[in-house]
Amino acid sequence: MKRIYSAIAVFVIGLILILNHSQSLAQNSVSDPLPSWNSGTPKTAIIEFVNRTTTSESADYLPPKDRIATFDNDGTLWPEKPLIQGMFILESLKVLVKKNPDLREKQPFKAALEGDLAYIKQLGEEAVMELLAAVHANQTQETFTVTARQFFETGIHPTLNLPYTQLAYQPMRELITYLQKNDFQTWICSGGGIDFVRLISEPMYEISPQQVIGSSLKKQFIEKEGQFVLWRADKLNSFNDKAEKPINIDLHIGQRPILAAGNVRNGGDIAMLNYSQGGNQKSLQLLINHDDAEREFAYAEANNASLKAAQKNDWQVISMKKDWKRIFADQQ
């Protein structure tokens, strides 16, 4: 036993010396948790909110189990011009018409296949989900996963000229990391397909596939060629937009998020932000405004509903142009 006691003594002394040293290192360089954010109201609001909810002496302190954050994906964590899942559908349509050339003259395949982004843009998200059902339904879940993985391995954004998987907004990645370090659960709540987004949530945002909420198809549990599989029916189970977002957050999480982030485009995130704000706890709502035509895209909502809601409810509006030093990781 003597040996173990002296080993412990040596260990403890070593540990104390190291801790002292690393503490002084830390004090010398208090690092910025959001280096890609410019100073300004949103950045200050975020840091203040995290401090208030995680400091045990604070009146707004919440235990880790109550620190839930939900993020929209398209336009909030990565670009939505064009919708990346729309490009995936187009890609799959091209493969499909090789096998069934008759489809080339049939609508909506014909128009989609002409490949013009304008057409894809014209489609609402719900219509995109319908097209998705045409090419990505009536197959097993496993088959879909293989196709989607292939898309992500090779897909390049048509104007930004980067692989889709490198299009995470760097400031939002930093925000996710910052929240995770402060024991927040970080969830994606996307209008995109749940099975599609799950494939990139971990590599792109360090969010586990289990913390992804999204639109979904109805599925059937069937035996096919002696194997039990899930079959993707050509029917929407849930279009995770607007009021469906809080409903699906409740289904997957069972709690109101205290932080919710969405973006200006079609009012699809207003309900999620309202829900987040509606509890009795301190909360924070972020709304990203796409106003940076040079580094990403500039677009607004026809009726300005999201910005009006932000003003009425005191949500933080994030200007991509003014509040973000860089949009993507590789920009200086």
Is residue 67 at the binding interface for a copy of itself, with CB under 8 A as the rule?
no
Is residue 12 at the binding interface for a copy of itself, with CB under 8 A as the rule?
yes
Is residue 300 at the binding interface for a copy of itself, with CB under 8 A as the rule?
no
End-to-end CA distance of the chain: 58
Q: Please give the full DSSP string across 58-78, using - where no structure is assigned.
A: STT---GGG-EEEE--BTTTB
* Cβ neighbours of 319 (radius 10 Å): 16
The distance of closest approach from Cβ of residue 168 to a copy of itself in the complex, given in angstroms and rounded to an integer, is 20
The distance of closest approach from Cβ of residue 230 to a copy of itself in the complex, given in angstroms and rounded to an integer, is 5
Q: Which is nearer to a copy of itself, 210 or 331 (CB)?
A: 210
Which of the stretches 37-45, 103-111, 119-127, 210-218 binds a copy of itself when contact is defined by CB under 8 A?
210-218
Number of shown-chain residues binding a copy of itself (CB under 8 A): 50
The distance of closest approach from Cβ of residue 271 to a copy of itself in the complex, given in angstroms and rounded to an integer, is 6
Which of the stretches 38-46, 82-90, 120-128, 218-226 binds a copy of itself when contact is defined by CB under 8 A?
218-226
Q: Which is nearer to a copy of itself, 21 or 110 (CB)?
A: 21
Is residue 275 at the binding interface for a copy of itself, with CB under 8 A as the rule?
yes
Which of the stretches 214-222, 261-269, 292-300, 314-322 binds a copy of itself when contact is defined by CB under 8 A?
214-222
Strand 259-263 and strand 185-193: the pairing is unpaired
Contact 215, 245 (CB under 8 A): no
Residue 101: strand, helix, or coil: helix
Phi-psi region of 314 (alpha: psi -120 to 50; beta: other; left: phi over 0): left
Binders of a copy of itself in range 277-296 (CB under 8 A)? 277-278
Give residue for tokens 């919708």: 83
Contact 67, 53 (CB under 8 A): yes
Residue from 39, 100, 220, 303 binding a copy of itself (CB under 8 A): 220
Is residue 229 at the binding interface for a copy of itself, with CB under 8 A as the rule?
yes
Handedness of CA 159, 132, 151, 98 (dihedral sign): negative
Compute the distance between CA of residue 150 and CA of residue 153 in angstroms, rounded to an integer. 5
Is residue 228 at the binding interface for a copy of itself, with CB under 8 A as the rule?
yes
Is residue 8 at the binding interface for a copy of itself, with CB under 8 A as the rule?
yes
The distance of closest approach from Cβ of residue 204 to a copy of itself in the complex, given in angstroms and rounded to an integer, is 15
Contact 198, 248 (CB under 8 A): no
Encoded one letter per residue, x for contact with a copy of itself by CB under 8 A and - for no contact, window 246-265 reads: xx--xxxxxx----------
Is residue 127 at the binding interface for a copy of itself, with CB under 8 A as the rule?
no
Compute the distance between CA of residue 115 and CA of residue 104 in angstroms, rounded to an integer. 12
Q: Please give the full DSSP string across 180-235, using - where no structure is assigned.
A: HHTT-EEEEEEEEEHHHHHHHHHHHHS--GGGEEEEEEEEEEEEETTEEEEEEEEE
Is residue 303 at the binding interface for a copy of itself, with CB under 8 A as the rule?
no
The distance of closest approach from Cβ of residue 145 to a copy of itself in the complex, given in angstroms and rounded to an integer, is 9
DSSP state of 268: T
Residues that bind a copy of itself (CB under 8 A): 3-4, 6-15, 17-18, 21, 65, 141, 185, 194-195, 198, 202, 208-212, 216, 219-221, 227-230, 237, 243, 246-247, 250-255, 271, 274-275, 277-278
